[in-house]
A and B are shown apart, each in its own frame.
Chain A
């Protein structure tokens, strides 16, 4: 199983809502990532979890709150988002973050629209 799954596929939320994005992998990977991708732009790294611990936070606003409940799951909790946060949110996993030599496996993404 080399699949990373993400739910939901699409999400529309108001600026006062609280919602969560979910990501799951069963490849035994110990590194998981959240990226944000705007139209016609490359994916931008948001967070990296290594062995269930947050290891990189790329100065992401606190209205985005990641959580890694176990080695297979990664959540992104959303609260009080702005319309400019509308984007494709991609989850990825890799064996580890060590040495930078392991390719990432990406999920299909969640298309988020903030109204």
Chain B
């Protein structure tokens, strides 16, 4: 049973545009969410997090939105840059990961 789901295995976005990566979860007890970015041959790198007491957290080009009633969160990257091309994992409470979304930024 996948408690954290990323339903889009891949996403392709033009450089300079907004990338939106989505994540859904089923466990209403989760109260902390993280996004990680993973390049090939490297371990995941922490990107941004959000606590359930907030509905938005922003860090530079990265913003995470949390909709608790829908059990949905999204990561917005704007403007998207070629260096953002990677696999992005949504995680809950550090320990439960989604399947990942491969983002490709096209120059």
- Do A and B come together as binding partners? yes
A→B interface (CB under 8 Å)? 4, 6, 33, 40-45, 48, 56, 90-92, 94, 97, 99-109
| Binary per-residue interface labels of chain B (77-97) against chain A in the complex, 1 for a CB within 8 Å, 0 otherwise | 000000000000100011111
B34 within 8 A of A: yes
The smallest beta-carbon distance between B45 and chain A, in angstroms, is: 7
What interface size band does chain B fall in?
A: 20 to 34
- In the complex, the chain B residue whose C-beta lies closest to that of A88 is B43
Report whether over half of chain B's contact residues are helix, strand or loop; otherwise say mixed: loop
A107 proximity list for chain B (CB < 8 A)? 43
**9 closest Cβ contacts across the A-B interface?**
A106-B43, A42-B97, A103-B46, A100-B93, A100-B32, A106-B44, A107-B43, A108-B43, A45-B95
13 contacts between A and B (CB under 8 A): A42-B89, A42-B97, A43-B89, A43-B97, A99-B32, A100-B31, A100-B94, A101-B32, A101-B49, A104-B44, A104-B94, A105-B46, A108-B43
Number of A-B contacts (CB under 8 A): 54
- In the complex, the chain A residue whose C-beta lies closest to that of B44 is A106
- In the complex, the chain B residue whose C-beta lies closest to that of A102 is B94
B63 within 8 A of A: no
The complex places the Cα of A102 from the Cα of B31 at a distance, in Å, of 13
The complex places the Cα of A66 from the Cα of B49 at a distance, in Å, of 29
Q: Which of B43, B93, B100 contacts A4 (CB 8 A)?
A: B43
The complex places the Cα of A28 from the Cα of B101 at a distance, in Å, of 32
B42 proximity list for chain A (CB < 8 A)? 108-109
With contact pairs A42-B97, A45-B95 given, residues A103 and B49 touching in the complex (Cβ less than 8 Å)? yes
| Binary per-residue interface labels of chain B (7-31) against chain A in the complex, 1 for a CB within 8 Å, 0 otherwise | 0010000000000000000000001
- In the complex, the chain B residue whose C-beta lies closest to that of A100 is B93
B106 within 8 A of A: no
Contact at B94–A42, with CB atoms within 8 Å? Answer: no
Contact at B41–A108, with CB atoms within 8 Å? Answer: yes
B46 proximity list for chain A (CB < 8 A)? 103-105
Contact at A43–B99, with CB atoms within 8 Å? Answer: no
